[in-house]
C-alpha cells in the first residue's frame, strides 16, 4: 500500500525521534506547507532536553514561515559533524568552528546568532594550586572533555600553542569530569567554559579558580544549506528575528541559548581561520 505524503512525513519524524532516543508520543502536527525542511541541532544536551527546547521553536517557525521543520537528532557530536559535512541538514544550529567547516565543504551560510554574548574557553586549576601563569603548564597533563570541544579544548589548546606552551591532553568526555579531575588533583589543570563551570555543584566551584581565559569568538549560529532557496532562507531568518522581538519567542530562544538574536554572516567567523584551530581538530 502506498504512503500519502502526510503518512510518510509522520513516519520520517517518528523514525528521527526514535533514532535520537526521543518519544514519538508527542502530538504530530499536519504539514503546514508542501515544503518540509530538515533541521539539525548540535547535541549539546541529552536528546529529550534538546527536543523540549527546539520543538516549540520550530513550531513557532512553522507558524511564521508556512514551512514544516523536521527535527533531526544525533546522539553525539561526531555523528552530527558527519551529517552536516555531508550536507544532510537543510538548516542547522552548530558551533563557530562547525560553520567554518560547513561553509567550506557544503556552502552553509549563517543566518542568526546571539549578539549579546561571546564564546570563550577557560583553563582552571585548583584554588590552592601554586600555578600562577599558564606558562607553568608547559609539559603538564591537562584535562579536556573531548578533542573537538570548541571552547573547552580546541580554543585553549590553540591559545597555549600560540604561546609555545605544549601540554599533554587527557580527554575525559565531559566538562563536569574535567572539573572533577582538577578538583581531585588527577590533573593540574583543565579546559572548560564559564557557563559549565557555573553549573557545577558548589563544592567543585569552591575548589577551583580560573587561571586563563581564551580569546573571544562569536557564538553558535543557526545556518542554512545553499540548496534552500534564498527567499526561504531570508524568511526563516526574519522569522527568528521577529521571534526575538516578542517576549514568548525571546524566552524560547534563550533556552538554546540565544538571548539577543542578531543577523549573522561569515564575516563574524572569518578570524577563526587564523587561530590555528585546525592543528587540534580531529576528523572522524
Whether residue 16 is found in the same domain as residue 111: yes
Q: What is the number of alpha carbons within 13 Å of residue 283 lying toward its C-beta? A: 4
The C-alpha angle with vertex 119 and arms to 237 and 249, in degrees rounded to 5, equals 35
Domain boundary among 182, 213, 244: 213
Question: Predicted confidence band at 284 (pLDDT cuts at 50, 70, 90)?
Answer: low
Please check whether residue 21 is in contact with residue 75, taking contact to mean a CB–CB distance below 8 angstroms: yes
Residue 148 above 90 pLDDT? no
Single pTM value for the model: 0.77
Whether residue 109 is found in the same domain as residue 141: no
**Span 111-129, mean pLDDT?**
95
Q: For the segment 180-237, what is each residue's pLDDT rounded down to a tens digit?
A: 999 999 999 999 988 889 889 999 999 999 999 999 999 999 999 999 999 999 999 9
Q: What is the 3-state secondary structure (H, E, C) of 165-233?
A: CCCEEEECCCHHHHHHHHHCCCCCEEEEEHHHHHCCCHHHHHHEEEEEECCCECCCEEEECCCCCHHHH
Whether residue 202 is found in the same domain as residue 128: yes
Going by C-alpha positions, the residue among 215, 118, 120, 197 that lies closest to residue 159 is: 215
The answer to the question of residue 284 being in a domain is no
The answer to the question of residue 197 being in a domain is yes
| Mean pLDDT, the chain, whole residue set | 88
Question: Predicted confidence band at 18 (pLDDT cuts at 50, 70, 90)?
Answer: very low
Residue 275 above 50 pLDDT? yes
Q: In the prediction, which pLDDT does 26 show? A: 36
Whether residue 85 is found in the same domain as residue 135: no
Whether residue 25 is found in the same domain as residue 40: yes
Residue 28 above 80 pLDDT? no
Residue 188: domain span = 121-213
Give percent of the chain above pLDDT 90.
71
Supply 110's cell numbers.
549563517
The answer to the question of residue 52 being in a domain is yes
Strands 91-93 and 36-41: parallel
Query: How buried is residue 249: exposed, middle or buried, by Cβ count under 10 Å (0-12/13-18/19+)?
Result: buried
Give percent of the chain above pLDDT 70.
88
CATH code assigned at 90: 3.40.190.10
Whether residue 149 is found in the same domain as residue 163: yes
Report the interhelical angle of 77-85 vs 96-106 (nearest 10°).
30
Whether residue 254 is found in the same domain as residue 200: no
Whether residue 14 is found in the same domain as residue 111: yes
More confident of the two residues 262 and 27 = 262
Whether residue 10 is found in the same domain as residue 135: no
Q: In the prediction, which pLDDT does 10 show? A: 41
The answer to the question of residue 252 being in a domain is yes
The answer to the question of residue 111 being in a domain is yes
Whether residue 240 is found in the same domain as residue 126: no
Q: For the segment 81-104, what is each residue's pLDDT rounded down to a tens digit?
A: 899 999 999 999 999 999 999 999
Q: In the chain, how many domains are there?
A: 2
Q: For the segment 160-171, what is each residue's pLDDT rounded down to a tens digit?
A: 999 999 999 999
Domain boundary among 173, 197, 213: 213
**How many Å apart are CA 269 and CA 97, to the nearest integer?**
8
Residue 179 above 80 pLDDT? yes
Domain boundary among 191, 213, 235: 213
Residues 6 or more apart whose CB falls under 8 angstroms from that of 25 comprise none
Q: For the segment 34-77, what is each residue's pLDDT rounded down to a tens digit?
A: 799 999 998 877 788 889 999 999 999 999 999 999 999 887 88
The answer to the question of residue 278 being in a domain is no
The C-alpha angle with vertex 78 and arms to 125 and 235, in degrees rounded to 5, equals 105
Whether residue 60 is found in the same domain as residue 156: no
More confident of the two residues 14 and 185 = 185
Whether residue 25 is found in the same domain as residue 155: no
H or E element: which one contains 111?
strand 109-114
Q: In the prediction, which pLDDT does 21 show? A: 40
User: How many CB atoms lie under 10 A from the CB of residue 72?
Assistant: 22
The answer to the question of residue 202 being in a domain is yes
**How many Å apart are CA 217 and CA 65, to the nearest integer?**
30
Amino acid at each position: 500500500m502506498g504512503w500519502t505524503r502526510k503518512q510518510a512525513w509522520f513516519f520520517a519524524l517518528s523514525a528521527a525521534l526514535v533514532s535520537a532516543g526521543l518519544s514519538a508520543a508527542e502530538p504530530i502536527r499536519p504539514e503546514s506547507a508542501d515544503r518540509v525542511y530538515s533541521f539539525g541541532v548540535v547535541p549539546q544536551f541529552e536528546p529529550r532536553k534538546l527536543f523540549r527546547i527546539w520543538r516549540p521553536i520550530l513550531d513557532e517557525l512553522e507558524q511564521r514561515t508556512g514551512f514544516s521543520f523536521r527535527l533531526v537528532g544525533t546522539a553525539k557530536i561526531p555523528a552530527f559533524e558527519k551529517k552536516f559535512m555531508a550536507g544532510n541538514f537543510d538548516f542547522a544550529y552548530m558551533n563557530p568552528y562547525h560553520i567554518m567547516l560547513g561553509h567550506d565543504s557544503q556552502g552553509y551560510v549563517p543566518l542568526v546568532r546571539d549578539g549579546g554574548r561571546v564564546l570563550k574557553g577557560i583553563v582552571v586549576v585548583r584554588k590552592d594550586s601554586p600555578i600562577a601563569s599558564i606558562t607553568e603548564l608547559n609539559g603538564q597533563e591537562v584535562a579536556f572533555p573531548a578533542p573537538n570541544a570548541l571552547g573547552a579544548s580546541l580554543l585553549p589548546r590553540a591559545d597555549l600553542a600560540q604561546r609555545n606552551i605544549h601540554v599533554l591532553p587527557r580527554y575525559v568526555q565531559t566538562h563536569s569530569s574535567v572539573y572533577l579531575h582538577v578538583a581531585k588533583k588527577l590533573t593540574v589543570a583543565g579546559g572548560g567554559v564559564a557557563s559549565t563551570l557555573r553549573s557545577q555543584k558548589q563544592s567543585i566551584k569552591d575548589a577551583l579558580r580560573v587561571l586563563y581565559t581564551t580569546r573571544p569568538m562569536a557564538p553558535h549560529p543557526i545556518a542554512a544549506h545553499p540548496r534552500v532557496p534564498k527567499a526561504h532562507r531570508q524568511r526563516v531568518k526574519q522569522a527568528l528575528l521577529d521571534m526575538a522581538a516578542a517576549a514568548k519567542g525571546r524566552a524560547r530562544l534563550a533556552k538554546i541559548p540565544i538571548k539577543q538574536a542578531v543577523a549573522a554572516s561569515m564575516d563574524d567567523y572569518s578570524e577563526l581561520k587564523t587561530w590555528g584551530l585546525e592543528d587540534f581538530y580531529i576528523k572522524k
